[in-house]
Amino acid sequence: MEKSQKIGIFDSGIGGITVLNEILKILPKEDYIYFSDSKNNPYGDKNDSEIIKICEDIVKILINKNCKAIVIACNTASAKAADFLRNKYRNIPFIAIEPAYKKVHDNAYQEETLVMATKGTIESEKFKLLYHTYDNKKTQLLSCIGLADLIERDEKEKIREYLRENLKKYQGKIKNVVLGCTHYPIIQDEIKHVLGENVDFFNGAPNLAIHLKEVLKEKDLLAENKGSIEFIDSQNLGIKKERFFELLNKD
């Protein structure tokens, strides 16, 4: 089989771009295949076996394209399917993301904290373990049902309305905000607008990028290629492709 130099990366839609952007900062010369699964979007409310099935189908496609490593650029999919995929496909490294709650523990333990994530992530065994291990006793957990979907559809006014309705009660009371879904960094400014200008954001993507580089190095898989990015959408939606390239390299 031809040796591929590409890194596969997937999410339920374009949210994983916030992960790819962090990866590109430290691995700009790798080649990438980004898989946006708009056919099954959103993942947030699906049960474990549905998520596992969906992720396995995507992984098969990426493996068929000879990817050398696969990044699960979705907190929900990482929480529910990473263990299964690692066990079943032992020859390929999977790099998963998790809400940056440990970062809060290590850097801002004393501060009032809000974890925003999908229902699936918040209710997952993986997240429960993370939360109980690093609990700073000043943390509120918020399942943001439907928010990733609004971001996916770029419904700007509805996003502002959603945030006003769901975050208002935390206004001025929160210092740390954990962005526990890869879609949320896209609306960081809007979140700040409701919660207050002095909030600090915690995002798992920069650590994932560092970890990916370490894994590739350890397995002797680091490459200097063209830095190409192939975009695939499971519904072949042109609009997704446009949005993806619009958000690429945008901080």
Residues known to be catalytic: 74, 181
Tell me whether strands 113-117 and 176-179 are parallel, antiparallel or unpaired. parallel
> Minimum distance between the CB of residue 105 and ligand DGL, rounded to whole angstroms?
20
> Minimum distance between the CB of residue 15 and ligand DGL, rounded to whole angstroms?
4
Interface map 51-90 toward ligand DGL (x if CB under 6 A): -----------------------xxx--------------
Which residue from 183, 186, 204, 233 is in contact with ligand DGL, where contact means CB under 6 A? Answer: 183
Q: Are 9 and 16 in contact (CB under 8 A)?
A: yes
Q: Tell me whether the omega of the peptide bond preceding residue 42 falls within 30 degrees of 0, making it cis.
A: yes
| Token digits of residue 87 | 């066990």
- Count CA within 13 A, CB hemisphere, residue 51: 26
Part of the chain binding ligand DGL (CB under 6 A), chosen from 86-94, 125-133, 176-184, 191-199? 176-184
Q: Residue 218: helix, strand or coil by DSSP?
A: helix
**CA gap 180, 143 in Å, rounded:** 10
**CA gap 108, 180 in Å, rounded:** 17
Is 12 a binding residue for ligand DGL by CB under 6 A? The answer is yes
Is 181 a binding residue for ligand DGL by CB under 6 A? The answer is yes
Which residue from 7, 8, 9, 15 is in contact with ligand DGL, where contact means CB under 6 A? Answer: 15
Per CB under 6 A, contacts with ligand DGL among 141-160 are: 148
> Minimum distance between the CB of residue 242 and ligand DGL, rounded to whole angstroms?
19
Interface map 93-122 toward ligand DGL (x if CB under 6 A): -------------------------x--x-
Q: Residue 232: helix, strand or coil by DSSP?
A: strand
Q: Residue 36: helix, strand or coil by DSSP?
A: strand
Which residue from 21, 22, 27, 44 is in contact with ligand DGL, where contact means CB under 6 A? Answer: 44
Q: Are 69 and 216 in contact (CB under 8 A)?
A: yes
Is 182 a binding residue for ligand DGL by CB under 6 A? The answer is yes
> Minimum distance between the CB of residue 44 and ligand DGL, rounded to whole angstroms?
3
Range 149-168 burial, b when 16+ CB lie within 10 A, else e = bbbbeeeeeebeebbeebbe
| Token digits of residue 176 | 């740390």
Q: Which is closer to ligand DGL, CB of 68 or CB of 120?
A: 120
Give residues in contact with ligand DGL (CB under 6 A).
Answer: 11-12, 15, 41-44, 74-76, 118, 121, 148, 181-183
